Structure 1
Amino acid sequence: MPETLSLRAVTRENYEAICDLPLPAEQQAMLASNSWSLVQAAYEPDYQPRAIYLGERPVGFIMWVPESETRVSIWRFMIGKDDQGRGLGSQALRLAMAEIAQQPGVREIEICYAPDNEGSRRLYARHGFVEQGLDPDGEDMLALLRL
């Protein structure tokens, strides 16, 4: 029986495992650390961090934040290096999109990524995100999904 992918709360029992998930060296500069993301979430009650589990094993992390009453932004999203290339990112993104879409009034999901991150660009485009151009700082590409 195949293991099921799920999104779970980050808790006292699993936060260290989430913080310890490694990225390939070439991706480390593209993402804020999971530790930093959890610090942010601890002080911002609207931030929504989730551990990504395959069966009973943590394999990734995702965090979204409300930008307005109608828009949610996915600020962090990663799959640990040992589990990349297996379609888990795509499955996890679908789970997150479904959970976000259940929030009353939300009509858009936004995500940003390094402009040279082709893997992210392809993943998000496959799920309906449309590039909007660089963010106001000119550093990250913004993509938007209308629900």
Structure 2
Amino acid sequence: MPITLRQISKENYEAVCDLEVTTEQEDYVSTNMWSLVESHYNDGYETRAIYKEEQPVGFFMWVQESNTKVSIWRFMVDHNHQQQSVGRTALGLALTEIKSLANLAEIEICYSPSTPVAKGFYSSFGFIEIGMDEDNEDMLAIITL
């Protein structure tokens, strides 16, 4: 089951837009369609499709906030492919790609503190919680390089 990250193009964007999370997760994740629109009209946004063999099964979007900081804004795995280590493998691949950026000192991610597995999942990659965001809605966690 090879997992890869691929550029999103006119050949695969519709399949990426069709990916869905579970009903319970919908409040925590923006749609892929909205994320692709957002990335198209803003500088520094990077998007990747998560592939399982030759099928898109998930989505990433990160933003280069400055020369030294990248924030992972979107990360989802389609509900039909969750609980299969797809997300774990894909996050490892994304972090490897992000860490290759010159001058990078920090990678940030945020998540709902009410999500039961989020803290353990992200901390297993080295993310350390630093507190709630400015709206006091999401937990911020960082990897310092």
Q: TM-score, normalised by structure 1?
A: 0.96
Aligned to 1:35: 33
Select the residue among 126, 140, 143 that pairs with 1:142.
Answer: 140
The one-letter code of the counterpart of 2:115 is N
Aligned to 2:21: 23
CA distance in 2, matches of 1:34, 1:97: 20
Select the residue among 83, 86, 89 that pairs with 1:88.
Answer: 86
1:58 maps to 2:41: no
Q: Which runs of 5+ in 1 are unaligned?
A: none
The one-letter code of the counterpart of 1:110 is E
1:125 maps to 2:140: no
How many correspondences in the alignment? 145
The RMSD of aligned alpha carbons is: 0.8
Q: Deviations over 1:73-95 (max 9, x none)?
A: 00000000011001111110000
Q: CA deviation at 1:119?
A: 2.0
Q: Which runs of 5+ in 2 are unaligned?
A: none
Q: TM-score, normalised by structure 2?
A: 0.97
1:9 maps to 2:44: no
Q: Deviations over 1:117-137 (max 9, x none)?
A: 122222101111000110011
